[in-house]
Structure 1
Amino acid sequence: MATKTWTASDGVELAYHELGEGRPVILLHGLFSDAQTNWIKFGHAERIAAEGFRVIMPDLRGHGRSGKPHDRASYPHGILARDAIELVAKLQLEAFDLGGFSLGSRTTIEAIGERLRPGKAVIGGMGLEGLKGWLRRKQFFLDAIDQFDSARRGDPHWLAIQFMKTMKVDREAASLLLKSFVDAQDEWLKAITMPTLVVCGSEDQDNGSGEKLAGILPNATFKEVPGTHMSSVANAEFGEAIAAFLARPV
C-alpha cells in the first residue's frame, strides 16, 4: 500500500492510496469516512487488486489525510467531482473504472455527468431518492454537526454523531463541504451509460432504493449484500461483488 499526495488546482493538498497493478479503478469513500475505513480495513481493496487492478483510493477533500481548509472558497459547488476529474488528469489515466460508496457514489455520478468517462461504474449504498433528495439529506448531517455535543442516545442523529467522533471529523470543514452539495441533475444520470453495478445492503434504505436506481440506468445490474448502510460496506460480500463485476469481461 502506497500513500501519496498531490495539489489540486486551488492549492489544497489531497491524499490518495494505491494498491495493486493493472487496470486503474478509482474508489471514492463515503461521508465522514476515508479510504482506509471504506476500502482498505475490511479487505475490499486487496480483493479487487487480486483480480489484476491498480486500486486508487483518494481521501476526499475534508476527510482522512487530505486537506481540510476552513474557508468557504475551498468548497464551491461540485468540488469533489472536480477533484476526481483533476486526479484522473494528474495520473494521466485514459482507460479506467470509477466507483464509490454513499457520498462517493454521488461524486462518481456527478464526475461522470460533468466529464469523466470510465469503462465501468460502481454505485454503492445509493438510491435514486438519495441523489434527488440530497438537499434534505445534507441538512440531516448539518443538524447532526450542530447537535454534536447535545444529542442523546435515541436521537435520530445519534449514530451519525458517534461515527463522526470515531473518525475525528473536522466539523468546520465537514460543514462547509456539506453546504456545497446540490441535488443530482438529470443530465448526470443520463451520462451513466457504461456497464454499472449498483450494490446496496439488504437493510439499507438510507439513500432510497438501489434497485430502483439500477432500473432507470440503461446498462446497470443490481446486487444486494447483507447489512445496513453502515454495516454493508464492512461486509466481505461488498468487496467481492465489486471485484467480480470489475473482472467480468464487457
Structure 2
Amino acid sequence: MANFPTETHRFQSFDGVELAWTEMGPKDEGARPVVLIHGYFSTAHVNWIKYGHAEKLAARGFRVIMPDLRGHGLSDRPHAPAAYPPDVLMRDGFALIEHLGLTDYDLGGYSLGGRTTLRMLVHGAKPRRAVLCGMGLAGLTDTHGRGTYFRRVLTNLGTFERGSSEWMTEAFLKTTKGDPEALLLILQTFVDTSREEIAAIDLPALVVTGAEDFDNGSAQEVADLLPQGRFVEIPGNHMSAVTRPELGDAIVGFLVD
C-alpha cells in the first residue's frame, strides 16, 4: 500500500471556534470525499490514521477528510460552557462540509463520531452513503446513560482500580492527551435520537461493531431500523475494534460497492 501524506488545516466553525481537520488521499477533482468523525476522547489520527483505515480508503481513490471534534485533538478546547450547546458537534460537521463546499460525499464515524453522523443525517445531511461504527441503539436513543459513565470517569480521575473499565478509559484519555474540562463539557451537547427518526433515514448505511462491543447497546438493532441498513460484525470490543484491519476493510468494501 502506498504511503499517503497527510495535511492538517484549520477553519472557524459557525460560532468562531477554530477546528482542525486532516486530509489524506488524491487531490484531483475525481477523488470522492469521505468525511470520517472520530470518537469521544479520541482524535482523527488515533481513530483513522494510526491503524491504517484512512490509507486503505486513500488507496482506493478517496479524499479522506478527518476532523478533530471541538474539545479534542488539534481543535480548540474552550472551557466556557456556552461553547458547548446541544448538538454543537452536528453543527460543526455541517460547518466543515460548507467550508469545503462538499455536495457529493460519504459520511461516517466511530462511537461519538457515529452518533454525530446520525445527528447530521437527522438534520438533513445528504451523503451518498453513511457509516456508523461502534454505536448501538441505546447510545443513540438514551445518551444520558453513557454520559453518566464518562462523567464519573472525568470527575474521579486517578481513583480507579487498575484494569477496571474506568481505569482503561482514563488510560486512553492520557494517551490522547485529552482535556478533562473540555471533555466534560462535551457531555452537555448530547441529544437523543428517537427510533422514528432513525427509521426515517433512507439511504445506504453500514453499521459496524465489534463482536464484544456492548458499550452502546445493540448495533444490529440500529441496522434493522434503518431502511437500507447493513450490519457487519468485526472482532473486538469497543476499544479494540477500532484498531482492527477488519474495520477499514468493511468501510472500504461498503463505499466502493
Superposition TM-score, scaled by structure 2 size: 0.94
Are 1:232 and 1:238, in contact at CA under 8 Å, matched by a contact in 2?
yes
Corresponding residue number in structure 1 for 2:107: 98
Q: Are 2:23 and 1:18 aligned?
A: yes
Corresponding residue number in structure 2 for 1:51: 60
Q: Which moved more, 1:63-72 or 1:204-213?
A: 204-213
Percent identity of paired positions between Structure 1 and Structure 2: 48
Q: Which moved more, 1:164-173 or 1:104-113?
A: 164-173
Q: Distance in 1 between matches of 2:191 and 2:199?
A: 17
Superposed displacement of residue 154, structure 1: 5.0
Q: Distance in 1 between matches of 2:49 and 2:165?
A: 29
Are 1:23 and 1:52, in contact at CA under 8 Å, matched by a contact in 2?
yes
Q: Are 2:188 and 1:157 aligned?
A: no
Superposition map of 1:44-193 within 5 A: 44-186=53-195, 188-193=197-202
The alignment covers a number of residue pairs equal to 248
Q: Which moved more, 1:106-115 or 1:180-189?
A: 180-189
Which secondary structure does the structure 2 equivalent of 1:228 belong to? coil
Superposed displacement of residue 10, structure 1: 1.1
Amino acid at match of 2:202: T
Gaps in structure 2 of 5+ consecutive residues: 1-5
Q: Distance in 2 between matches of 1:231 and 1:155?
A: 15
CA deviation profile, 1:164-206 (whole Å, cap 9, x unmatched): 1221110110011112212223454134211000011111111
Q: CA RMSD in A?
A: 1.2
Q: Are 2:220 and 1:220 aligned?
A: no
Amino acid at match of 2:104: A
Q: Distance in 1 between matches of 2:41 and 2:156?
A: 16
Are 1:201 and 1:227, in contact at CA under 8 Å, matched by a contact in 2?
yes
Q: Which moved more, 1:27-36 or 1:187-196?
A: 187-196
Are 1:42 and 1:236, in contact at CA under 8 Å, matched by a contact in 2?
yes
Name the CA shift for 1:4/1:188 in 2 (closer, same or farther; >3 Å). Answer: farther
Name the CA shift for 1:78/1:17 in 2 (closer, same or farther; >3 Å). Answer: same
Amino acid at match of 1:11: G
Name the CA shift for 1:17/1:187 in 2 (closer, same or farther; >3 Å). Answer: farther
Q: Distance in 1 between matches of 2:36 and 2:169?
A: 22
Corresponding residue number in structure 2 for 1:231: 240
Q: Distance in 2 between matches of 1:156 and 1:45?
A: 28
Gaps in structure 1 of 5+ consecutive residues: none
CA deviation profile, 1:137-185 (whole Å, cap 9, x unmatched): 0011011001112222254422111111221110110011112212223
Are 1:112 and 1:188, in contact at CA under 8 Å, matched by a contact in 2?
no
Superposition TM-score, scaled by structure 1 size: 0.96
Q: Distance in 1 between matches of 2:248 and 2:182?
A: 29
Are 2:14 and 2:91, in contact at CA under 8 Å, matched by a contact in 1?
no
Q: Distance in 1 between matches of 2:203 and 2:50?
A: 29
